[in-house]
Structure 1
Amino acid sequence: MTDTDTTRAVAGTDWRRRAAELDAADPLAWARGEFLLDAAPGVVSYLDGNSLGRPLRATAQRMASFVHDEWGGRLIQGWTDDGSGRGGWMHWPEVLGDQLARAALGAGPGQAVVGDSTTVLFYKLARAVVDAAGPGRDEIVTDTGNFPTDRYVLEGVAAERGLRVRWVETDPAAGVEVEQVRAAVGERTALVTFSHVAYRSGHLADAAAITAAAHDAGALVLWDLSHSVGSVPLELDAWGVDAAVGCTYKYLNGGPGAPAFGYLAARHHGRLHQPVQGWMGHAEPFTMGPGYSPAAGARSLVSGTPPVLAMVPVRAGLDLLERAGIGAVRAKSELLTAFALDLVDDLLAGHDVEVASPREPGRRGGHVTLRRADFRAVNERLWADGVVPDFRAPDGLRLGLAPLSTSFTELLEGVVRLRRAVARSGEQR
């Protein structure tokens, strides 16, 4: 029996025809041609775009051009004049920060920079917030389900500054809710920080309401946008967000180890000061004189030399996102995740697979998480079969659906092979 016949026998539906119809009607179908889809011939279904996005064809071309023309052609002069008319590589953190703010953050210019890792920028901004907190504000509020690096950094900041972390217990199959935040914050709260999209469940937090609740208690908010930027529309300025961080190697296709971004609202410029005072964040870095005077605006978040080479792929990813539009990306993301749930409900019925993501489209981000006790072994079988999802201990399998590069047919192929792997796993019990 073929996979197509199996699909029909289980579902009573021609899912392959439905997938083809969705692909034919997809206004972003053209974007798949922008990616190096043929670079991994053994992969038939890549479902891990929420961990590492695929590379763009433009990235390969631009990297070669940069090495030859800009690095090789301009040498050290490129720091002040890279031929772009925008002041050279020295200013790429702000140039890319402004493009990112425009394309994905819902933020005005001068408030974001690209550079460092998410962990480093998260530390800088968390420390800046707690250091500026008023007397008696000695608590940091976060949730037990937050991404590990955030939790670890907060524990370190608390130890450094003599603070206490107040933990909000969250459902692993969901995420933090505004009522929980209101119950946790108070006159002792300095910093409130959560992930906008929960990395396990895909739960989409109500950032506007949670930010308002923190502000009502006199606290500031730092959002981790790593699993939402480039997938979910953001409105940082409109929501009144104080600070935010995120990575660029997921839905922005910046590549392995791509630099992160930091956002600091303009109203906090000159008032919040990050603790890693490096020469590239100085107001006049080439005076090299005594004492530290921070640069104006978001540039003050910069510490060391900008990772220029690593920014080339980020710029390519942002260019593509601007062409597509974040609204169109979100619309396809909701269709992809809904299609994934339909397939799981039908093709995996009776196989003890639990959906651990919100069912409502407006309450989930760009990935769907499934749970089953043996998914670690199933994930290994899938990789060997050309399907690449993402396993998260103890029993979660994430289907990371990148709207610009994932087709509905590719998703269907992955779920069909997942069903086959689960069935074989059951036979071996």
Structure 2
Amino acid sequence: MSDLLLARAAALDAADPLAQHRDRFITPEGSDLLSYLDGNSLGRPLEATARLMDEFIRDQWGGRLIRGWTDGWLEWPLTLGDRLGAVALGAAAGQTVIADSTTVLIYKLARAAVDARPGRRKVVLDTDNFPTDRYVLEGIAASHDLTLTWISTDPGTGIQPSQVADVIDEDTALVLFSHVAYRSGWLADVAEINRIAHEAGALTMWDLCHSAGSVPISLDDWGVDLAVGCTYKYLNGGPGAPAFAYLRRELQDSVRQPIQGWMGHRASFEMGHGYEAASGIRGMLSGTPPILAMVPLHANLDMLAEAGIEAVRAKSLLLTGYVLEIADAWLAPHGVEVVSPREAERRGGHVTLRRAGFEQFLEPLWDSGVIPDYRRPDGLRIGPAPLSTSFAEVYQGLSVLRDLVEKHR
């Protein structure tokens, strides 16, 4: 079986139309990295990113200094937002902005959404969403006398439209879910959940952190109202890279974010008395844009545009399908359970494996040059990134995991 799986990896790599992109990523000389399987947590850096960062520091920051703001830096949150919207989000121009962290943007958009539905006291969310989403909504609910309606979700199946239909009503202001569940990789039916929410007059908000750059997204066509996502996973923006926010054009005159800073003012450099929100998506800005942290996005959006999100998704499904093949052949006999969906149409870009005691495997895996990540309870996430991960790399990494599982029966 091992020979067959190895031969399959070789065949898949030989037929991979995205294989040439792997050489664009940085692999330090003498690195002990054998298999990086955590692209769903932190993407690898591009060689082009290193060059752009050096050029920016030396030429733009070092050469232009404060004049860089009038050279175009001030427009980066909008121009990069538009480009991200076109390349990865299915969003027309003028609806996406790069700014702040994911947590701050979730707060800004969720606060704005509930304020835009006065008199409605209910917010719907699920028990297995990422902690930040839940914590932010708990804080907003406490300060605004709102009621949180929790939907209990099975980590293996994720949020279902029928569950939303069972709890939503005319008192619901907002529903917030993840497009791809961070634990299991469950891919939600965004369009159908939006339809159900809109029939009740509620606004919809989606966390795109585990789908942006990995799964095709159609925010405009799906009728999404608000969305937030990070850029350091499949978009390879780097540790702590700024997040992005989407606000549907039709809502931009009525939905106002709560952190009123100078960059969201209609005329930032007038510095006058009283806040007057800028029109359009610029009104989502608050403070000075994180320009240096945006530089890597230029390189990755170039590569993603060249590769095409549909091709990325096709390889992602092959990669995660290959993970399932190996898990069934090597790991299932030793009590390892696949938590993630097996149906391709419901599976995001990673596969979660579960077995009691998996936490103790993390250190020996890392020591062996194999890097997945761990999520409690007992979940090992295998997240191959289509543009940087080969099938042989998946084979090598899961071979080490198999040996550990057999050793610790």
Q: Under a length normalisation based on structure 2, what TM-score does the superposition of the two structures give?
A: 0.99
Amino acid paired to 1:185: I
User: Does residue 264 of the first structure (1) align with residue 254 of the second (2)?
Assistant: no
Structure-2 residue corresponding to 1:5: none
CA offset at residue 12 of structure 1? 6.2
CA offset at residue 75 of structure 1? 0.7
> Which of 359, 384, 396 in structure 2 is aligned with 1:413?
396
User: Does residue 210 of the first structure (1) align with residue 210 of the second (2)?
Assistant: no
Q: Distance in 1 between matches of 2:2 and 2:292?
A: 51
User: Does residue 331 of the first structure (1) align with residue 314 of the second (2)?
Assistant: yes
Give the alignment of 1:119-134 within 5 angstroms: 119-134=103-118
> Which of 226, 251, 255 in structure 1 is aligned with 2:238?
255
CA offset at residue 38 of structure 1? 3.5
- Count of aligned pairs between the two proteins: 409
Amino acid paired to 2:192: A
> Which of 238, 242, 263 in structure 2 is aligned with 1:280?
263
Q: Distance in 2 between matches of 1:247 and 1:349?
A: 33
User: Does residue 341 of the first structure (1) align with residue 331 of the second (2)?
Assistant: no
Give the alignment of 1:51-200 within 5 angstroms: 51-81=41-71, 88-135=72-119, 137-200=120-183
Amino acid paired to 1:345: D
Q: Distance in 1 between matches of 2:296 and 2:198?
A: 36
Structure-2 residue corresponding to 1:222: 205
CA offset at residue 174 of structure 1? 2.1
Deviations 1:184-240 (CA, angstroms, capped at 9, x unpaired): 110110000000000000000000001111001110001000000000000000000
Structure-2 residue corresponding to 1:295: 278
CA offset at residue 380 of structure 1? 1.6
What is the root-mean-square deviation of aligned Cα atoms in Å?
A: 0.9
> Which of 309, 312, 319 in structure 1 is aligned with 2:292?
309
Q: Is the 8 A contact 1:174 1:202 kept in 2?
A: no
Distance 1:180 1:39, change over 3 A: farther
Give the alignment of 1:4-83 within 5 angstroms: 11=1, 13-38=3-28, 41-81=31-71
Structure-2 residue corresponding to 1:6: none
Bigger Cα displacement from structure 2, 189-198 vs 290-299: 290-299
Q: Distance in 1 between matches of 2:192 and 2:175?
A: 13
Deviations 1:343-395 (CA, angstroms, capped at 9, x unpaired): 11011131000000000011010000000001001122111111000100110
Structure-1 residue corresponding to 2:335: 352
User: Does residue 398 of the first structure (1) align with residue 388 of the second (2)?
Assistant: no
Amino acid paired to 1:67: I
Amino acid paired to 2:267: E
Structure-2 residue corresponding to 1:8: none
What 5-or-longer segments of structure 2 have no aligned partner?
none
Deviations 1:153-200 (CA, angstroms, capped at 9, x unpaired): 000010111101100000022210000010111011000000000000
CA offset at residue 40 of structure 1? 7.1
Q: Distance in 2 between matches of 1:160 and 1:228?
A: 31
Q: Distance in 2 between matches of 1:39 and 1:107?
A: 40
Structure-2 residue corresponding to 1:320: 303
Deviations 1:45-94 (CA, angstroms, capped at 9, x unpaired): 0000000000000000000000011011111010011xxxxxx1011000
Deviations 1:268-324 (CA, angstroms, capped at 9, x unpaired): 011100000000110100000011111111111110000000000122111111111
Amino acid paired to 1:378: F
Q: Distance in 2 between matches of 1:28 and 1:412?
A: 18
Q: Under a length normalisation based on structure 1, what TM-score does the superposition of the two structures give?
A: 0.94
Amino acid paired to 1:242: D
Tell me the SS of whatever aligns to 2:184.
coil
> Which of 344, 356, 372 in structure 2 is aligned with 1:389?
372
